[in-house]
Chains A and B, each alone.
Chain A
């Protein structure tokens, strides 16, 4: 048969060559060197997860202290042991979605579909919809790059994919903080995920490899299996609105357990007759031979796992600083005509419109000229107003140059203008050629005390809770947060755009800079974070909605503020408890009260170290 087929094949080839040469006229030929299209595995359809692995955990829910098989480091383990499930009763946690790797393990149905270019039919993206938490992820297949480090994070993260062999290979970044397992086992916002999806008939397997420098010592490998369904399940929603689950609770209460005081730490091991150390041991619990080792562990070795190792130096942040230091100013559109500018220390917000630009903070000032160029590209009109969230240098550093580059046309012809040349001072003395600097009055007081030059000091100030201005078609409100980082902090809310600039009250890069000398306080910081949360709304399952521009770090939403607020409250609680027990500052430091957060926010050098933060909290609470 093969011999017979050889002749027609040859003939076919010749005929084909002739036909092709005549008909194609050279059109549509692939460019030289272009490889044939990759094999595209079809993963689309309706899928139901087979919960034959970890079924109890994925269905009913996991048990406290069940961390076996997780390569949690000390910070991750302590974070989990400090976790009190009652935290989910807090308004801002009630509708928390799952981060993608955990989402893929959830119960409920899954639907996968393709997005194709309508004209070329090229594959643009593969979408996954998960019923639980209505998780929607998009896997971009068109070769686009991942967003910059200062772009927002989401529960689904940002995924790009390609076909490799018979697998769909996916890489995900920009995840929010969430759960490896919903018993407090954390996955940080620095985690990245490699994923491999293979299909065998009507069976889909998704292997996720989570790399988390903050909470894991080794990548966490898990796999999920799905069975193809012939049709629509008609069950895709997961309605959630937050409500008042516990009334009368103090606004600064975040349920948590002090180190070593998790009341259920032994429950899991006792229930299943396992050595206490077994589920606390981290990476070694994943490997063969572990059971024998665990059985030989002493009680002291196990107990050592439920509190910070003593006499250890503080860990430092494993999170790369998302702020670029390349001498450039990078512009990130937020919403509408509001932008975030990064690259000169503190984040800068610019709002544009048919009036002059409204700017929040001016960075360190190192790149002020570049900032001005960037703003001119965004706004045809000059900078008109500059609001300062703080008196700290990385927020007012560019005040003088940016103000000098702008003008405030609302002043010429007004009584202020008539006061010149003798009556007015500062920018008001020459309003046509300067933008107006705004800030809470204590910014002025502190800058003057620091002998700052007059041209960087706000002239338009407010004293109490609020300053309002309708500008560029929307209401902009400055709210005074007294005694947070300093006594002159403001948050700035662009009401229509629904963007809040927080200054250093909230950052994604460090512990809060509680500047006691300039009127800061830990209690004021917590109140300020809660004030931010009282003005935010989420779009869907605790993400989206109000955008939050931190003083430093990546563009956020309320979820990041909530996690940060929780952290400050929990550290405060620990320090407070130690103070009550009569601990000295040195004893508080030795207790490593930030051990579960140091791999995310800690620093042992630089302008704001972990030791400084703990000392500030201690001294403030001792007052």
Chain B
């Protein structure tokens, strides 16, 4: 009898849990815990706050980032023969003559520069990222694409991102609650396209017009009060790269604008 009781209890418990777990998914049909009604603006729904002033910490690829490396020095970048050919032909004077001093300051290169960032909400749907190196501005649009692109910073579409299951664990399109809930936090995901061809490194390591730049912005709070911003980027360029180019770049939060020093692009 005791055994039956335990079995009965377990079945009842399992049934209850399935029903319990299904409710939020059936009701909200989206991110669990999000109340019904009009969706909040991207600003209100922000998973993390990355606004403020940030300074880059050049601790990796230091020689390539703090100084302009010599022509043909493209170690670690998985460029293909076409990319190599272009990099070997790098001529900063030619770039200057063509008014293209900012080729290394495009979206796929600017975050690797020694720079300070100022990130603000331009409006409830748009984040603005300004870099004092080269005096560049990137605009991250949540939702629909705006602008024609084909410039140094291209078109950047932003979304809040958290790990999620590729499929629900239930059947009939209903998740019975076995899919883990989203984390209390997440990342900013930014996908940038329609870029004007530029340089991954200042010494002419190229990326092409068909480049797709995918970035994740993560914020980490350190004991003692410092805050880090990690920008993980994947550059997909079928024209000049043999495989995706991955880097992760970090910035330290500043309490104010100290050190902010907008400078023009320099090609050498």
- A-side residues, CB < 8 A to B, are 2, 5-6, 8-9, 12-13, 15-16, 19-20, 22-25, 27-28, 39-42, 50-56, 66, 68-70, 163-167, 169, 194, 196, 198-200, 203, 205, 207, 209, 219-225, 227, 272-274, 278-279, 285-291
Contacts and interface: CB of A to CB of B under 8 A. Distances in A.
B223 A221 contact: no
Nearest to B252: A221
B218 A198 contact: yes
Interface string B92-124: 000000000000000000000111100000000
A88 to B, nearest CB: 24
B218 A289 contact: no
Contacts of B226: 219
Contacts of A285: 58, 62, 66
Contacts of B27: 5-6, 9
A220 B59 contact: yes
B19 A19 contact: yes
B157 interface: no
Contacts of A2: 29, 36
A272 B245 CA distance: 24
B12 A199 contact: no
A53 B57 CA distance: 14
B183 A55 contact: no
B94 to A, nearest CB: 21
B12 A22 contact: yes
B167 interface: no
B161 A200 contact: yes
Interface string B239-256: 000000111111010000
Nearest to B181: A39
Given A20-B20, A200-B161, A227-B246, A272 B180 contact: no
Interface stretch (B71-79, B81-89, B137-145, B147-155): B71-79
A167 B115 CA distance: 26
13 contacts: A9-B27, A19-B19, A23-B12, A167-B185, A167-B218, A196-B218, A200-B232, A221-B59, A272-B67, A288-B55, A288-B114, A290-B114, A291-B66
B48 interface: yes
B23 A13 contact: yes
B195 interface: no
Given A24-B13, A205-B230, A272-B69, A286 B57 contact: yes
A289 B261 contact: yes
A207 B230 contact: yes
A68 B63 contact: yes
B59 A272 contact: no
Nearest to B226: A219
B16 A272 contact: no
Contacts of A54: 60-61, 76
A202 to B, nearest CB: 11
10 tightest A-B contacts by CB? Answer: A165-B185, A55-B76, A23-B12, A69-B62, A39-B183, A288-B114, A223-B248, A68-B62, A69-B59, A166-B183
A198 B180 contact: no
A285 B246 CA distance: 23
A225 B15 CA distance: 42
Given A16-B16, A19-B16, A288 B116 contact: yes
The number of chain B residues touching the other chain, given as a range, is 35 or more
- Which DSSP category, helix, strand, loop or mixed, fits chain A's interface? mixed
A492 to B, nearest CB: 41
Contact of A225 (B56, B113, B247): B247
B259 interface: yes
A205 B248 contact: yes
Contacts of A279: 62
Nearest to B162: A166
A53 B19 contact: no
A51 B75 CA distance: 10
A410 to B, nearest CB: 55
Contacts of A6: 27, 36
B154 to A, nearest CB: 20
Nearest to B216: A200
B31 to A, nearest CB: 13
A39 B182 contact: yes
A209 B222 contact: yes
B67 A291 contact: yes
Contacts of A272: 63, 67, 69-70
Given A68-B62, A286-B58, A287-B58, A164 B19 contact: no
A288 B78 contact: no
A112 to B, nearest CB: 15
B230 A196 contact: yes
A223 B187 CA distance: 16
Interface string B202-235: 0000000000000010101011001010101010
Interface string B2-32: 0000000100110110011011001101000
A177 B183 CA distance: 36
B184 A23 contact: no
Nearest to A10: B27
B60 A194 contact: no
Given A221-B250, A274-B67, 9 more contacts: A16-B19, A16-B20, A19-B15, A41-B183, A52-B76, A69-B60, A205-B216, A285-B58, A285-B66
Contacts of B60: 53-54, 69, 222-223
B264 interface: no
Contacts of A68: 62-63, 66
Contacts of B15: 19, 23
Contacts of A203: 232, 234, 246
B60 to A, nearest CB: 4
B58 A198 contact: no
Contacts of A287: 55-58, 114, 259
B220 A196 contact: yes
A15 B19 contact: yes
B188 to A, nearest CB: 11
B163 interface: yes
A302 B216 CA distance: 39
